[in-house]
Structure 1
Amino acid sequence: MPGAEVHDLGDHAPTDQQYPPKAIAHITWDRNATAAAPQDWATFDDLVGYFTGSGAGSAPHLIWDPFSGRVAQLFPADSRSKSVVDSPGGTRTNRAGRVVIQIEAVFFPYCRYQGQVYPRLVDTPCAGWDRIHAWISSWGVPDVWPMGRPVDFTSHRSEQVWETQGGWYAHAHVPENDHQDPGSWPDFGQSGANPQPSPPPAQDPTPARYQTTINGLQYGYGAQGDQVTEVGRALVAHGFGSHYQQGPGPNWTDADTENYADYQRSLGYTGQAADGVPGSDSLRQLLGALPGGRTVSLAHVIAAAQADPPAAQGHQTYGPDVQIVEQALADEGLLDQQWVDGSFGSRTVSAYAAWQRRCGYSGSGADGIPGKASLDRLAAAHGFTTTD
């Protein structure tokens, strides 16, 4: 990057060119402070020393001082860096793009710099942001936030969005990760020349584009099915259909998201709680009850548990049945929500084995292949029925 201080760590490695280009926004969050107990900012040089020393194993491409505008570059843009968790067998999160450029702003909430306290990154001068943005844009990263511009420390993760859409992502959006930073990030048009605290950031105009599973059914951008039509018709009936040019129909589009966001705001939700992707409470209020009537075939999930693990990542043998079981396992705290995908892969097998052990089974009785008794018990706890 022009003007950056180069501290090349070596250890370059290629990215996965089949994915679209991305940038990932981080803050260093090296200290825990509060409004009542702010702490002094950790210096740019200290963080450069850390990432070029003991922290090299989690180093980003760029380290950015938002107060002075100094930037250190540790990896070239066309190499992966190492600032996000990359779980074995999943999406290679540090590499999933023609470029995956990661930026660590030297910042933590309520840091004190030269006597002034800064609650959010966007309250700093954001000096040098315009140069960083221009350089990353030159690598083809589009000016969009597929999961929404970060305005707080709420996580939104969708592996499908991550793998298919280029643009800017918060660390809080990256699959397989549990960090919730950066909390805020400067606008693409911000010059980095304003040293005064900025007003609260506006919600990103791009509608939210991720999905959620409620009672075994998908909602949000790209979801398909009768449940989507039902939501659309209910929105229209309640006076929240202004964004439809046609429909509603069985395919969830941006219009559904925007209409649902209007409905959420009418209930008093704000911020990312009103991003247009349903939650169970708002959906129940809209429809009167959560759609369900879910049935799982024991024969189907056994077949899937045997066929899906050795197949390609994401392979589905009986996706609808499996997804109901996976959601129940996730609700039990045994499976991460991102793996509720209809594929009875190795993570689902491990989660089901944990459920079997919870039911008192051991040895071959807890091998992760569903049996009737354990599946019936899961069904009873999570509101679905089983068939042979």
Structure 2
Amino acid sequence: MTAFHAAVVHPDQSVTYCGEVSQAHVDEALAIAAVETAPCSAARHPRRPGSVFVLREDGDLDWYEPVDAEPFVIRDPDQKPRTVGGHPTTDDPSMAGERVRGRAGTRWISGAIRLGDGVIGGAMDTPGNPPRVVHHTTECPAGGRYLESAGSYLIRVASEPQLIYCPVTDRVGQFGPLHLSARALRNDGARRTNREGRVCVQIEVLGRARTPWTTGWDPAKKPGWQRILAAVRSWGVPDVFPAGRPAAYPGPGKSRSRSVWRSEGGHFGHVDVPGNDHGDPGAIDTAKVLYQARPTPPKPARPKVSVAHLVAAAKKDVPARDGHTTYPAEVRIVENALVAEGLLPRGYADGSFGSKTVSAYAAWQRSKAGGAYTGDAADGIPGIASLKRLAARHGFTATA
């Protein structure tokens, strides 16, 4: 039976070697991972037969490598040019929003968890072509710290996207800057699909293509996803799926149009990319993916009522002829509040601070809510304290 080297890759990418284990041990680990309720998920190395990974909910990655396998180079990064158009390609997060080729775009997303060494690819081959996003699924559970364990797996198999996202926790991880290429796509012959367009931002979402991760997911409550959208929009990626909604999985899929892929900007599923054979991300809800927050209408300004104006109105309106008004707009606001309190008949809310309004305001002053004034203090002439109490209950602002 085959023997395996066993190691644990921790969320900080440090590795603990655990010695050799048997085929039976690996088979048992795979059997446990296959149980739907198990807090782990299994994956195999796409290019190294026999190499097995178990992604764990606690963020650790169990790694089993056959002892007779060829020596394994953990990471073999693409050539990484240090300048693009005269601009440095450092992984410093402070470079978010720096101009590249004279046009602004976010390189590092604020608040994203940094995974790996920050360099995964190089400059784009066709920067004059439209910008795009490619959506993948990790084919593992979401929640917990699967983001770290799935991230470790993608690093070990040299298939990193720029971004990884957990729809359950709304956490965002980032492997490399958005203006350089990722490594999650196969080439289309000699055409390097990872380097197609002005940018080709690839997003691995924790989930399975069979059960679209957008089901039951509300982007309005996911600020992490909204930050991803803001970042890709900063590069001019249009809010469209040029190849249509990604196909359901499993299923016949769709034709992977080279002309659409090369000439159109927007969002694509892995299932749409020529030269690739994966069926992810499944039939995700594209309207949710491209969420646009509705602008919050500005709250109407609270009307202001001056206590000095009310006092002046009471002094002029009471002795004048019926219906005389001094500051009718402000008086009417107070009268409507007194009507709502049940202290003034609606027919007297006419903008004139007459004797009925004075009596009603005096009743307000004597009430507990109005301040429980007595004697001369409850004379029906507004003071700032009683007016502020009325204003707080009826949506206006009392001023001196």
Q: TM-score range by the shorter chain?
A: 0.3 to 0.5
**TM-score (normalizing by structure 1):** 0.42
User: Whose helix proportion is higher, 1 or 2?
Assistant: 1
Judging by fraction of residues, say which structure has more strand: 2
TM-score, with length taken from structure 2: 0.40
